[in-house]
């Protein structure tokens, strides 16, 4: 995958255009921006990223309803909810992300935060320095509880099965990147932005196809890495900066 100098200029222009606080309102990242406390940002961001497929307005509405049921205090809810509190979540979810999946997420998060102050440690970047290793570790760790529903596994992908892991890579972008533009949070520092992998969703796939004048690539782990490596030629310290360019271009030009 080769990016010409002319396309590089276009990508820089597009990234500058969309990497702006005006991007937040209509994107799922608006959900964690409702909060200022680190663990609230992590939890709300993880939930919003997990259900981030389909119409963005619908994603945001679904996430807000979940957080409203948590009284917009996700960390406190996770750690101190009662069985009666959980009943408020009974009919909430998003598309195939159902109540049973949400309840397991809550159980996992309570288990994790009982011994850690940040969700960052769940990825164990110190032992797993590559994103591929960290995401594989996270998947295994997330489903270690004995009552983990088999059906919930489809909502937390892993590169070990070839998945592009779009939603988790997007979540990592939110947590890790810190360029002072006000969109991403940059509250995690155990992994460098240089290590991040592009969130390869349908909009990015279509943008790559149109801008490079080639057939659409498959949204898998291999191609997410290939695209990231191509973008590293432009910005080795922060290749997923161009997620703004490719995603923004895809949103702006979708039919």
Q: What value does the mean pLDDT take over residues 176-204? A: 95
Residue 255 in this model has a pLDDT that exceeds 50: no
Q: What is the pLDDT of residue 210?
A: 92
Confidence of residue 2 (pLDDT cuts 50, 70, 90): confident
Q: Rounded to whole angstroms, how far apart are CA atoms 162 and 202?
A: 16
Q: What value does the mean pLDDT take over residues 191-200? A: 97
Give me the sign of the Cα torsion angle 145, 154, 166, 38.
negative
Residue 228 in this model has a pLDDT that exceeds 70: yes
pLDDT digits (tens, 9 = 90+) for 140-178: 999 999 999 999 999 999 999 999 999 999 999 999 999
Mean pLDDT of the chain: 95
Residue 54 in this model has a pLDDT that exceeds 90: no
Confidence of residue 252 (pLDDT cuts 50, 70, 90): confident
Q: What is the pLDDT of residue 1?
A: 77
pLDDT digits (tens, 9 = 90+) for 76-125: 999 999 999 999 999 899 989 999 999 999 999 999 999 999 999 999 99
As a whole-number percent, the residues of the chain with pLDDT over 70 amount to: 99
Question: Which positions ≥6 away from 17 have C-beta within 8 Å?
Answer: 244, 248
Residue 202 in this model has a pLDDT that exceeds 90: no
Residue 254 in this model has a pLDDT that exceeds 70: no
Q: What value does the mean pLDDT take over residues 179-207? A: 95
Q: What value does the mean pLDDT take over residues 57-77? A: 97
Across 160-193, b (16+ Cβ under 10 Å) vs e yields eeebbbbbbbbbbbbbbbeeeeebbbebbeebeb
Rounded to an integer, what is the distance from CA 141 to the centroid of its chain?
A: 17
Q: What is the pLDDT of residue 193?
A: 98
């Amino acid at each position: 995958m080769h990016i010409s100098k002319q396309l590089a200029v276009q990508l820089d222009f597009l990234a500058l255009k969309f990497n702006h606080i005006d991007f937040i309102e209509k994107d799922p990242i608006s959900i964690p921006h409702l909060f200022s406390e680190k663990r609230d940002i992590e939890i709300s961001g993880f939930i919003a990223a997990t259900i981030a497929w389909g119409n963005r307005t619908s994603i945001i509405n679904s996430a807000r309803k979940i957080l409203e049921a948590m009284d917009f205090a996700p960390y406190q809810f996770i750690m101190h909810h009662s069985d009666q509190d959980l009943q408020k979540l009974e009919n909430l979810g998003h598309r195939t992300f159902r109540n049973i999946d949400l309840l397991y997420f809550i159980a996992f998060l309570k288990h994790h935060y009982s011994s850690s102050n940040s969700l960052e440690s769940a990825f164990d970047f110190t032992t797993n320095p590559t994103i591929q290793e960290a995401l594989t570790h996270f998947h295994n760790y997330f489903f270690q509880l004995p009552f983990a529903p088999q059906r919930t596994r489809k909502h937390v992908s892993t590169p070990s099965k070839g998945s592009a892991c779009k939603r988790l890579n997007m979540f990592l972008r939110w947590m890790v990147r810190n360029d002072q533009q006000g969109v991403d949070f940059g509250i995690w520092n155990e992994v460098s932005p240089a290590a991040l992998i592009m969130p390869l969703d349908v909009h990015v796939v279509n943008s790559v196809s149109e801008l490079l004048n080639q057939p659409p690539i498959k949204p898998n782990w291999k191609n997410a890495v290939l695209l990231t490596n191509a973008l590293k030629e432009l910005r080795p310290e922060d290749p997923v900066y161009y997620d703004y360019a490719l995603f923004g271009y895809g949103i702006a030009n979708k039919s």
